[in-house]
Amino acid sequence: MILADSILFSTLCAFAVSTPLSKRDSCTLTGSSLSSLSTVKKCSSIIIKDLTVPAGETLDLTSLISGTTVTFEGTTTFGYEEWAGPLISISGSKINVVGASGHVIDGQGAKWWDGKGDSGKVKPKFVKLGLTGTSKVTGLNIKNAPHQVFSVNSCSDLTISSVTVDIRDGDSAGGHNTDAFDVGSSTNVLIQGCTVYNQDDCIAVNSGTTIKFLNNYCYNGHGISIGSVGGRSDNVVNGFWAENNNVIDSDNGLRIKTVEGATGSVKNVNFISNKISGIKDYGIVIEGDYLNGKTTGTVTGGVPISGLVMEDNTGSVTSSAKRVKILVENASDWEWSGNSITGGSSFSGCSGIPSGSGASC
Ligand SMILES: *[C@@H]1O[C@H](CO)[C@@H](O)[C@H](O)[C@H]1NC(C)=O
């Protein structure tokens, strides 16, 4: 055994000396063509530097070698075409995606914005993530997305930190449906310390298990949202934590919306110590009457909301807003305490609140 081991050891050493380990390879993609992408994708350190991605093409960083680092440097832009995108797609295990100081990934959304969001011009989604195995996305600066920003689908053990999504220009220039984080069919995803200025949900979780959204700032969008849940292929949210976030000048603060007539479930959801201010529609809204982008007023119980903890959430809504709206059926096991939302008025049509939960409108 000793002999066999030492032969194996020296063989490995000889290999290491004569063949540079691919782990050391650093490859840079720059200019305005993706023609070298298939070579670059085999490197374990990929630098995207001042790249202009051609119109209608995806910066395809899928199936990267395990352990690869992708660094965005300088300004990344994209040619204009009406198409669904994504502009960038990244997948693999143990992947580190980082932004160098001063970099920006600029979607130049004004070319697509027409105030119509999901309809009107066909607009590309921005960054599709299929990351697993303790992958990290850290410190990216995303600007002016044409449409939805991060699609977090089929991800597991992924941490997204200190990402800035700045679509402020879209407030006056027709930006719409610019969700920052759309999460579906994912497990163990942590999103923390991010700053979002947009025109739709700061985060929307349609399905997934153990999704955490901690210490983020959300400005001027639609707030923190579970849902809409129902009507997709995966309709179960089990384990969501939104803690210590700030939701500012947004349509809603904290929200769960489930689809009327659909089936699924929303379980073990925790909204704890979030601060809201300047909320324009509803401070806290939990409703089961969502259909085709609207509330119908008819609530069904096929997507029960159970195991909800709503605790120590504080802040204020504008004078025309409602503080709390709850319109659910088949809900159970809620704990509601220490919440204080001021301003606006109360919503009169609340129904379905589980008895003994402490919740009220
Ligand atoms: C209530 O939820 C259960 C699942 O927990 C489901 O089986 C039942 O059909 C639901 N009831 C209604 C009225 O939708």
Between CA 212 and CA 219 the distance in angstroms is 19
Residues 190, 214 share a domain = no
Range of the domain at 295: 210-354
Centroid of ligand 1 to alpha carbon of 336 (angstroms):
22
Does 1 map to a domain?
A: no
pLDDT at 48: 98
> Token pair for residue 94?
């143990």
| Total structural domains within the chain | 2
pLDDT in tens for each of the 361 residues of the chain? 333 333 333 333 333 333 444 455 899 999 999 999 999 999 999 999 999 999 999 999 999 999 999 999 999 999 999 999 999 999 999 999 999 999 999 999 999 999 999 999 999 999 999 999 999 999 999 999 999 999 999 999 999 999 999 999 999 999 999 999 999 999 999 999 999 999 999 999 999 999 999 999 999 999 999 999 999 999 999 999 999 999 999 999 999 999 999 999 999 999 999 999 999 999 999 999 999 989 999 999 999 999 999 999 999 999 999 999 999 999 999 999 999 999 999 999 999 999 999 999 9
pLDDT at 122: 98
Q: What is the pLDDT of residues 124-151, one digit of tens each?
A: 999 999 999 999 999 999 999 999 999 9
Burial call 236-272: b when 16+ CB within 10 Å, e when fewer: bbbbbbbbebbbbebbbbbbbbbbbebbbbbbbbbbb
pTM of the model: 0.93
Mean confidence (pLDDT) of the chain: 94
Does 175 map to a domain?
A: yes
CB distance 287 to 325 below 8 Å: yes
Q: What is the pLDDT of residues 6-52, one digit of tens each?
A: 333 333 333 333 344 445 589 999 999 999 999 999 999 999 999 99
Residues 241, 108 share a domain = no
304 touches ligand 1 (CB under 6 Å):
yes
pLDDT at 7: 35
Residues 131, 260 share a domain = no
Between CA 242 and CA 226 the distance in angstroms is 10
- Which residues lie closer than 8 Å to 327 by C-beta, 6 or more apart? 286, 287, 288, 289, 295, 297, 299, 349, 350, 351, 352
301 touches ligand 1 (CB under 6 Å):
yes
CB distance 223 to 250 below 8 Å: yes
Name the burial class of residue 357, with classes exposed (0-12), middle (13-18) and buried (19+) by CB atoms within 10 angstroms of its CB: middle
**How many CB atoms neighbour CB 276 within 10 A?**
25
Residues 186, 249 share a domain = no
Residues 89, 180 share a domain = yes
Domain boundary (143, 175, 200) is at 200
Q: Which of 103, 147, 176, 222 is catalytic?
A: 222
CB distance 235 to 264 below 8 Å: yes
| Residue 16, phi then psi, degrees to nearest 5 | -65, -35
Residue 17 parent element (H or E)? helix 2-18
Between CA 270 and CA 223 the distance in angstroms is 15
| Residue 216, phi then psi, degrees to nearest 5 | -105, 160
Does 17 map to a domain?
A: no
Q: Tell me the best of 235, 289, 330 to mutate to test the pocket of ligand 1, counting ligand atoms within 8 Å of each CB and taking the most.
A: 330
Residues 155, 48 share a domain = yes
Residues 295, 160 share a domain = no
Does 196 map to a domain?
A: yes
From the CA of 330, give the closest atom in ligand 1.
1
Does 3 map to a domain?
A: no
261 touches ligand 1 (CB under 6 Å):
no
pLDDT at 303: 98
Residues 81, 169 share a domain = yes
Domain boundary (200, 228, 260) is at 200
Q: Whose CA is nearest to atom 6 of ligand 1?
A: 302
What residues are paired with 295 via a beta bridge? 290
The one-letter amino acid code at 117 reads G
Centroid of ligand 1 to alpha carbon of 270 (angstroms):
22
Does 89 map to a domain?
A: yes
Residues 158, 255 share a domain = no
Does 315 map to a domain?
A: yes
Centroid of ligand 1 to alpha carbon of 330 (angstroms):
6
Residues 36, 146 share a domain = yes
193 touches ligand 1 (CB under 6 Å):
no
Does 294 map to a domain?
A: yes
Burial call 213-235: b when 16+ CB within 10 Å, e when fewer: bbebbbbbbbbbbbbbbbbeeeb
Domain boundary (143, 167, 200) is at 200
CB distance 145 to 108 below 8 Å: no
Q: Respond yes or no: is residue 147 known to be catalytic.
A: no
Centroid of ligand 1 to alpha carbon of 287 (angstroms):
16
Residues 349, 220 share a domain = yes
Residues 151, 63 share a domain = yes
pLDDT at 6: 35
330 touches ligand 1 (CB under 6 Å):
yes
What CATH code is carried by the domain that includes residue 148? 2.160.20.10
From the CA of 304, give the closest atom in ligand 1.
2
**How many Cα neighbours within 13 Å face the side chain of 13?**
6
